[in-house]
Amino acid sequence: MTSDVEKISELDPSELGKKDYWENAYKLELTNYADHGDVGEVWFGEDAGQRMVNWMSEHPEYILPGDAILDNGTGNGMLCMDMAEEGFTNVTGVDYCQEAILLAQKIRDEAGCDVDFQVGNILDKASPFFQKKFKVVTDKGTFDAISLSETAKTDKLTYIANTASILEDTGCGLFIITSCNWTEHELTAMFATHFKHLETIPTPSFTFGGKQGNTVTTVIFQKLS
């Protein structure tokens, strides 16, 4: 019998799955920030990040203000700063692009937020942040980008295993993901080796050709004990 994961088709590779694309994009955004104070693109819009932050602040049974939170693929760091503004005090943002981290640090310093930004890659366990355990890991577009790389099939498996490995073993570590490439069903199937589905946050929907869909999907997963 074919498993749910085996039924999921791989996405066609794209420039969005290449590191040099993001390096060049953030070099431009660094220049724009220096010239005009433009923080750059907020992936999936500000509402997508705010939905994630709101859910976290509304569920103290899972997340307390001082719990360690990692934002994976933080880009310009705006999601981290939204978390800090909401009262979360132990937030780390990582990105494999040095240029993204430089931009995030500049925006943080201007805003006066207390967030730790560092270069790191979820696919590389030599990254310094692997020395720490986190209560929550967030992702807004990073798994999507990895899904568009030439080596997506193996990289996605590494991503899932490594994400589980940096979450706390006790206290039911959470993984919160927003994706525009994958549905709730597909994400649940792919992450089932290390996570169980906890909740899906409602997101804007649309109807086309008599069928209903969502522009993005936001799912909360809990690490398997």
Query: Using one digit for the tens of pLDDT, what is the confidence trace for 138-157?
Result: 999 999 999 999 999 999 99
Q: pTM here?
A: 0.91
Q: How confident is the model at residue 170 (pLDDT cuts 50, 70, 90)?
A: confident
Q: How confident is the model at residue 223 (pLDDT cuts 50, 70, 90)?
A: very high
User: Which residues touch 133 (CB under 8 Å, ≥6 apart)?
Assistant: 68, 166, 167, 168, 169, 173
d(CA 42, CA 22): 14
d(CA 118, CA 129): 8
Q: Is 42 helix (H, G, I), strand (E, B) or coil?
A: coil
Asked whether residue 2 carries a pLDDT value surpassing 50, the answer given is: no
d(CA 192, CA 189): 5
H or E element at residue 185? helix 184-191
